[in-house]
């Protein structure tokens, strides 16, 4: 075992403090999960991490835990309640650049060890018990797989990831700790039929819909726990029970957000914004409005509802000596932005759709529903189409999942 993986007193003390924090804040309520977070080391899975610059401008600097002089700073980072970023832009050469130049610029994080609070939330929602067979979609660093192995036994755990390099690294780290689950490098949406059926499916990457393969590979009465990719985010964590080829259940009261699965995505908000010309922007007449877009987008339960019902992206834009703008953008080129200056709220809109009006209509619909919380909504993933519903899957309001 190499030096950086040593589970010394410093690592154990920091890990115990993290596990106690998760328990004391109410994230971990099951004593067995407290024991597991205390027992299973995180640091062997994240030997080298990228730290974002304070400006959050897409620059990162390296922290190499394999170097003895970095050990204390590295362990303190690993055992705080935060993500550990281990890959940028899917490019393993990024580490070489960062160590050579002291920093690296990247568009997106493509592998992280998720925030422990989120991991613990998901694991408790999964309601694991002896005899469960688990499919984890999104192996990543392998740390979450280790936690599951400790709970149900490695022979009952399958973990898959689209990146073969990550799978190999996770296999090595898991092996160092004595865990040998089934690991495979393939598209997570396919599941893994060879080790099915599963009683539990847990996705640690987000997907726009629940893949049919997961439902087909889950036994009747089994659970699927997954975060849906939505342009506005919203932290939509669905906990679904599988029966006769359909997965149905409510969204969790707790928020969750994982990186989208790799593949084809709609253009990001920044790219959509850059495509808008100054002439287009100036052609739209400012309109006085009485609803603050900031309030709408920053109300968590409302944002969750908007995320499920809308395909718009959002972007905040700031200029020196000019009021901040909140932009809404759509892939067809439609846009809207709102400003607030001196207590006056205005909006400008352009393109084929009036995006502010669409969001305002959904806001009013949410108010008419009684300003419901996220766990009053649910999802039915069926062969003939997916729908979200409010109240009850049979007699509540229903909408197709976009």
Which residue is catalytic, options 114, 206, 334, 376? 114
Is-catalytic flag, 376?
no
Instruction: List b or e across 266-299, with b for residues whose CB sees 16 or more CB atoms inside 10 angstroms.
Output: eeebeebbeebeeeeeeeeeeeebeeebeebbee
Q: Which two tokens stand for residue 60?
A: 């990162």
Active site residues: 114
């Amino acid at each position: 075992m190499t030096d950086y993986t040593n589970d010394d007193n410093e690592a154990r003390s920091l890990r115990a403090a993290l596990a106690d924090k998760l328990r004391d804040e109410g994230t971990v309520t099951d004593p067995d999960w407290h024991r597991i977070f205390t027992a299973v080391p995180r640091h062997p899975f994240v030997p080298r991490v990228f730290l974002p610059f304070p400006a959050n401008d897409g620059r990162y600097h390296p922290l190499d835990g394999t170097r003895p002089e970095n050990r204390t700073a590295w362990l303190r980072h690993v055992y705080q309640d935060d993500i550990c970023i281990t890959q940028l832009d899917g490019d393993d050469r990024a580490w070489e650049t960062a160590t050579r130049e002291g920093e690296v610029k990247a568009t997106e994080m493509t592998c992280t060890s998720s925030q422990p609070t989120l991991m613990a939330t998901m694991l408790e929602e999964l309601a694991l018990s002896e005899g469960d067979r688990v499919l984890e979609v999104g192996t990543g660093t392998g740390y979450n797989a280790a936690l599951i192995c400790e709970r149900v036994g490695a022979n009952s755990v399958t973990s898959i990831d689209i990146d073969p390099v990550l799978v190999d690294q996770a296999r090595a780290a898991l092996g160092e700790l004595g865990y040998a689950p089934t690991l495979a490098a393939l598209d997570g949406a396919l599941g893994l039929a060879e080790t099915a059926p599963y009683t539990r499916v847990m996705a640690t990457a987000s997907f726009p819909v629940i893949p049919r393969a997961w439902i087909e590979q889950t036994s009747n009465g089994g659970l699927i726990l997954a975060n849906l990719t939505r342009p506005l985010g919203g932290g939509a964590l669905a906990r679904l029970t599988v029966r006769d080829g359909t997965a149905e259940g409510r969204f969790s009261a707790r928020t969750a957000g994982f990186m989208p699965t790799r593949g084809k995505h709609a253009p990001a908000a920044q790219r959509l914004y850059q495509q808008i010309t100054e002439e287009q922007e100036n052609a739209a007449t400012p309109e006085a409005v009485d609803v603050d877009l900031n309030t709408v987008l920053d109300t968590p339960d409302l944002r969750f509802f908007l995320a499920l019902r809308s395909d718009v992206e959002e972007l905040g834009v700031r200029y020196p000596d000019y009021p901040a703008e909140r932009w809404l953008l759509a892939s067809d080129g439609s846009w809207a932005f709102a400003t607030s200056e001196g207590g006056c709220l205005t909006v400008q809109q352009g393109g084929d759709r009036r995006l502010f009006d669409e969001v305002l209509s959904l806001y009013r619909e949410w108010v008419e529903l009684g300003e419901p919380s996220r766990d009053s909504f649910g999802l039915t993933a069926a062969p003939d189409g997916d729908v979200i519903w409010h109240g009850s899957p049979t007699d509540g309001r229903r909408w197709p999942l976009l």
